[in-house]
């Protein structure tokens, strides 16, 4: 026996005047189906906007990071170029002061007999090594290392004549390094 109470599970499903189940018609009753569709569309567009914003933000941060890396590389190359020129200048000062220059180091400290020109050269050499380590471009590093190797041969030459024999090598290595550095700087700008 069924009662007129619709709360029983055996009760037939109630239908509205259009033949649709009453539960399905609840969406249409409130503010209307058009409003519900508008809300769903708004939520979907909000999700799309958030995803787009996240993607755009990620791309912007990656571009900013790339620009920061390029700027760091530019600064490192500029510091290396300056350090390389200082190393060459101090090498010339060592040669001008007379060869053979003394490079003895005793117990981790420079001996008192080493002249200021040699101390400046050693300082410039270490500065150039540190600047070279900061550069990522392997070709620039290699070219700079070649210059440093030639300056070391010049500074450690036993005579002025020996030092002068390295002069063409120094000019070639220096020009090659400068060309590569300027090329790398142009590439980091674009």
Stretch 4-33: mean pLDDT: 55
CB 102 within 8 A of CB 118: yes
pLDDT at 1: 46
- For the cut 70, the answer to whether the pLDDT of residue 106 exceeds it is no
**Tokens found for residue 179:** 């060309």
pLDDT at 84: 97
Who wins on pLDDT, 141 or 113?
A: 141
| Half-sphere exposure at residue 77, Cβ-oriented, CA atoms within 13 angstroms | 26
Q: How confident is the model over 161-171, as pLDDT tens digits?
A: 999 999 999 99
Q: Is the pTM of this model over 0.75?
A: no
Measured from the Cβ of residue 147, the count of other Cβ atoms closer than 10 Å reads 25
Q: Which of 178, 188, 151 is nearest to 82 (CA)?
A: 178
Domain ranges of the chain: 70-189
Cα–chain-centroid distance for residue 185? 14
- For the cut 90, the answer to whether the pLDDT of residue 7 exceeds it is no
Q: Which of 151, 147, 3, 128 is nearest to 76 (CA)?
A: 128
- For the cut 80, the answer to whether the pLDDT of residue 73 exceeds it is yes
For the ranges 98-112, 126-140, 172-186, the lowest mean pLDDT is seen at: 98-112
CB 127 within 8 A of CB 87: yes
pLDDT at 99: 75
Strands (E) across 62-177 are located at 105-106, 109-110
- For the cut 80, the answer to whether the pLDDT of residue 113 exceeds it is no
Question: What's the whole-number average pLDDT of the chain?
Answer: 84
In words, the CATH class of domain 70-189 is: mainly alpha
Write out the H or E segment, with its range, that includes residue 188.
helix 167-189
- For the cut 90, the answer to whether the pLDDT of residue 18 exceeds it is no
């Amino acid at each position: 026996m069924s009662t007129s109470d619709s709360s029983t599970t055996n009760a037939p499903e109630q239908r509205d005047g259009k033949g649709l189940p009453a539960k399905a018609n609840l969406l249409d009753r409130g503010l209307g189906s058009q409003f519900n569709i508008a809300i769903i569309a708004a939520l979907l567009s909000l999700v799309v906007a958030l995803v787009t914003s996240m993607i755009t933000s990620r791309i912007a941060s990656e571009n900013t990071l790339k620009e920061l890396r390029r700027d760091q590389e530019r600064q490192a190359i500029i510091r290396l170029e300056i350090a390389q020129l200082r190393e060459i200048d101090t090498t010339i000062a060592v040669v001008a002061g007379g060869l053979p220059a003394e490079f003895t180091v005793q117990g981790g400290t420079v001996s008192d007999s080493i002249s200021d020109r040699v101390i400046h050269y050693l300082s410039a050499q270490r500065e150039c090594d540190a600047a070279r380590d900061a550069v990522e471009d392997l070709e620039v590093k290699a070219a700079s290392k070649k210059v440093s190797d030639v300056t070391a041969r010049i500074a450690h030459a036993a005579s002025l004549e020996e030092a002068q024999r390295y002069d063409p090598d120094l000019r070639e290595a220096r020009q090659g390094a400068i060309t590569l550095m300027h090329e790398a700087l142009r590439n980091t700008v674009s």
